[in-house]
Amino acid sequence: MKFNADEIASIIQQEIQQYESQIDVREVGTVLEVGDGIARVYGLSGIMAGEMVEFPGGVNGLAFNLEENSVGVIILGDFLSIKEGDEVKALGKLLSVPVGEAVLGRVVDPLGNPLDGMGPIQTPHSRPVEYLAPGVSERKPVTEPMQTGIKAIDAMTPIGRGQRELIIGDRKTGKTAIALDAILNQKETGVKCFYVAIGQKDSSVAAVVEILRQHGAMDYTTVIVAGASAPAPLQYVAPYSGTAMAEYFMFNGEHALIVYDDLSKQAVAYRELSLLMRRPPGREAYPGDVFYCHSRLLERSSKLSDALGAGSLTSLPIIETLEGEVSAYIPTNVISITDGQIYLQPDLFFAGQRPAMNAGISVSRVGGNAQIKAMKKVAGGLRLDLASFRELEAFAQLGTELDPATQARLDRGYRMVELLKQGQYQPMNVIDQVFSIYAGTRGHLDEIPRVDVLRWEREYLDFIHAKHSDLWDKLSEAKDLTSEIGDGMESAIASFQSTFVPTKQEEF
């Protein structure tokens, strides 16, 4: 491809001919001091809170603190090029990011600039980063399921489209893995996914992008990155700009899923900004409005009414706890904002139960409304059963003689725990999930050795797909466990059981 010099010269000539001399009227101020991603500016007397300003060299900022005779500005970009005495120009508009189909498959920074070296993002649309959440009359109850493809979650803490489900746990307990599985499972569902990485190592973000790409999930996913080396202002705005990109789809009647990984880092960035701006510190030195910071963000996830196109935005915020401390400030705040939480525990994780979800204290406040009928029927009492099994298990460890009924409940519990284990990046179809959980809750696994449960499940599902695909199709169509399908399952299990060979247990 060669550029024709004449062509370009003619364009420039046209531009000059069309140029109308306009007198530029602007509101200005002067930089008094600058550092740590913030600047204090004298002047700008007519500026509004949240308005964009421009520093020399094209770096943008946001008016954050309006004081008696100065303005605190957070700098979105390179603050090292700004000097004392620089002229700051008010732009009279709000921060906005490019949105639309063009952002899908891209890795961008919180201002919408591409980071993946695939050229500029060409889209005519943009949305303000800060946007008021839909009101009461613009919403509708959450009823459609948003399948994560993880048995434990879809069965026990189902997530609906438009819900906000918190993923909380210590470091290295598989929080990101759950969110990624949920994204991978949105293939062919038309749900657009957004992964907002805040304050993470750039190497982990690169790994996430690589996983998404390998599994073909980048086609419908946007990754918004404000890495650990990004200045605090960018880390602070990253979730809002990700939400703005996702909202575009929601307001166009489509469905979107957004993962904030993780909000505790965003809170830390916000604390840093607030302290630098000399806002009074509160509990754990967080500013008083850190709750509002998260509530206005998560409130933007919603299920819109039919009049507005019935689009939805589901969010999976992630919070990292320290030593399982859920009663710290940020975890309690976000728990109270969200519609339920998935609580991951390190001891379960190291005991080999992955996902390491604690069924007893994980909840989904939307509940069974967000499940297909068949799943609701097979997994109805599963969560409570598992929670009571955990108690019983602790009791049984005392070594007392158990009556046969208790022993039977223990056996069932062990097998359900085993059945709910699932490998990473292997999301399961919800119909498959119904087949396998049905077998577990109806006691068909009670006689199978514990080590064989996952193999049994795998072979059983292969068997169903090979020999009983009509039954599978029927269930997938009806989405309900009719007595006919139930009978079909019973007979399928019976015929499979006769062919299953348990592993020989070696005696030690």
Residues within the interface to other proteins (CB under 8 A)? 1, 3, 7-8, 11-12, 14-16, 19, 21-30, 32, 40, 42-46, 68-70, 122
**Largest separation between any pair of C-alpha atoms in the chain:** 96
Q: Give the DSSP letter string of 55-104.
A: -TTS-EEEEEEE-SS-EEEEEES-GGG--TT-EEEEEEEE-EEE-SGGGT
- Measured from the CB atom, the residue of 27 and 144 that comes closer to other proteins is 27
For the CB of residue 430, give the shortest distance to other proteins in the complex, in Å. 37
Q: At 80, which amino acid appears?
A: L
499 is in an annotated binding site: no
The number of residues making up the chain comes to 508
406 is in an annotated binding site: no
93 is in an annotated binding site: no
* The token pair that represents 202 in the structure block: 């750039």
Dihedral sign from CA coordinates of 348, 349, 352, 357: positive
For the CB of residue 11, give the shortest distance to other proteins in the complex, in Å. 5
Where residue 117 falls (left for φ over 0; alpha for ψ -120 to 50; beta otherwise) is left
The angle that helices 469-478 and 430-441 make with each other, rounded to 10 degrees, is 100
For the CB of residue 294, give the shortest distance to other proteins in the complex, in Å. 32
For the CB of residue 345, give the shortest distance to other proteins in the complex, in Å. 51
- Measured from the CB atom, the residue of 29 and 37 that comes closer to other proteins is 29
- Measured from the CB atom, the residue of 47 and 223 that comes closer to other proteins is 47
End-to-end alpha-carbon separation of the chain, Å? Answer: 73
What is the b/e burial string over 339-376, where b = at least 16 CB atoms within 10 angstroms of the residue's CB?
Answer: bbbbbbbbebbeeebbbbbbbeebbbebbeebbbebbb
174 is in an annotated binding site: yes
135 is in an annotated binding site: no
314 is in an annotated binding site: no
Q: Which helix (H) or strand (E) holds 344?
A: strand 340-344
Do 176 and 319 touch, CB atoms closer than 8 A?
Answer: no
- Measured from the CB atom, the residue of 46 and 117 that comes closer to other proteins is 46
H helical segments located in 338-403: 346-350, 373-379, 382-396
Task: Please give the Cα distance from 359 to 213 (Å, whole number).
Answer: 31
Is there a catalytic annotation at residue 365?
A: yes
170 is in an annotated binding site: yes
- Measured from the CB atom, the residue of 46 and 404 that comes closer to other proteins is 46
488 is in an annotated binding site: no
Backbone φ and ψ for 394, nearest 5 degrees, come out as -60, -40
Least Cα distance to 463 among 432, 434, 437, 426 occurs for 432
- Measured from the CB atom, the residue of 14 and 426 that comes closer to other proteins is 14
For the CB of residue 72, give the shortest distance to other proteins in the complex, in Å. 11
- Measured from the CB atom, the residue of 120 and 141 that comes closer to other proteins is 120
Catalytic residue, from 279, 365, 442, 455: name it.
365
Do 430 and 182 touch, CB atoms closer than 8 A?
Answer: no
**Three-state SS sequence of 345-359:** CHHHHHCCCCCCECC
For the CB of residue 54, give the shortest distance to other proteins in the complex, in Å. 13
For the CB of residue 505, give the shortest distance to other proteins in the complex, in Å. 60
Q: Which residues are annotated as a binding site for ATP?
A: 169-176
Mind telling me the catalytic residues?
365
